[in-house]
Amino acid sequence: MTPDWAELGNSLAIVGAGALAGFLIYLVLRLIFTGLIRSPRGAWLAPVQALCRAPARLLFPLLGARLALPQAFDQDIGPWLHALEIALIAVAAFLVLRLLRAATDVVSTRLGVDHPDNLNARRVLTQLRVIRGVLAAVVVLGAAIGILFTFPEPVSYTHLRAHETIHAISYAVFCLKRGGGGGGGGGGG
């Protein structure tokens, strides 16, 4: 059976449009953040935008493609959906890690660690870095658990064998030819 190239092209165009819509949402949010940064009270958002630009640039198009994929294809797209879900979890974790780093950067600039008498500020900054490290470990662990939960649950070998009849088992034990296949007879020697 030959593939229907026109249908495939239309489906890929739908997925591409979803990714493009996600990228446009990213651009709109970037413009909003840029406007907030230029306001007198929004200067502290500059490191947040700088650190979160790359993961957000990936996250929104992936999200748009993930939402468009089921509408674009009629056949089984399970592996593609699974790959997109894994990518979304990884990029979302990357974004959260960057947000944690941006938060610590904002707090460290407000603490004024550069002053000569800054023992209290350095103590707070050290505690903040420890908390960021613990939270980063929780985020990475949560992302790994989330990715592992996307895989289907395995079926145990015992469960598979429970559905066999005594005739199927005896046939497998006594009648099936051993020797590794490959044709040609013999046993590989």
If you average pLDDT over residues 2-10, what whole number do you get? 73
Instruction: Give the angle 34-38-41 at the CA atoms, nearest 5°.
Output: 115
Long-range contacts formed by 5-10: CB under 8 A, 24+ apart: 10/72
In whole angstroms, what is the distance from residue 76 CA to residue 56 CA?
29
Q: What is the pLDDT of residue 87?
A: 93
Predicted local confidence at residue 67, as pLDDT: 86
Find the mean pLDDT for residues 46-57.
86
Helices (H), the chain: 5-38, 46-72, 78-111, 119-149, 157-162, 166-174
Q: Is the pLDDT of residue 156 over 70?
A: no
| pLDDT for residue 3 | 63
Q: Is 153 left (phi over 0), alpha (psi -120 to 50) or beta?
A: beta
pLDDT given at position 134: 95
The verdict on pTM exceeding 0.85 is no
Q: Report which DSSP code applies to 163.
A: T
- The better pLDDT of the pair 13, 186 is held by 13
The answer on pLDDT for 103 being more than 80 is yes
| Average pLDDT of the residues in 150-169 | 69
In the chain, % of residues over pLDDT 70? 78
- Could you give the CA distance from residue 189 to residue 182 in angstroms, rounded to a whole number? 13
Q: What percent of the chain has pLDDT over 90?
A: 26
Backbone conformation region of residue 180, classed left if phi is above 0, alpha if psi is from -120 to 50, else beta: left
Query: In the chain, how long is the greatest CA-to-CA distance?
Result: 86
Tell me which residue of 40, 13, 16, 45 sits closest to 29, measured CA to CA: 45
pLDDT beyond 50 at 188: no
∠ at Cα 136 (134, 141), nearest 5°? 95
**d(C-alpha 70, C-alpha 78), whole Å:** 9
User: What does the pLDDT read at residue 189?
Assistant: 43
The tens digit of pLDDT for each residue in 58-80 reads 999 999 988 888 777 777 777 88
Whole-angstrom Cα distance, residue 76 to residue 130?
A: 46
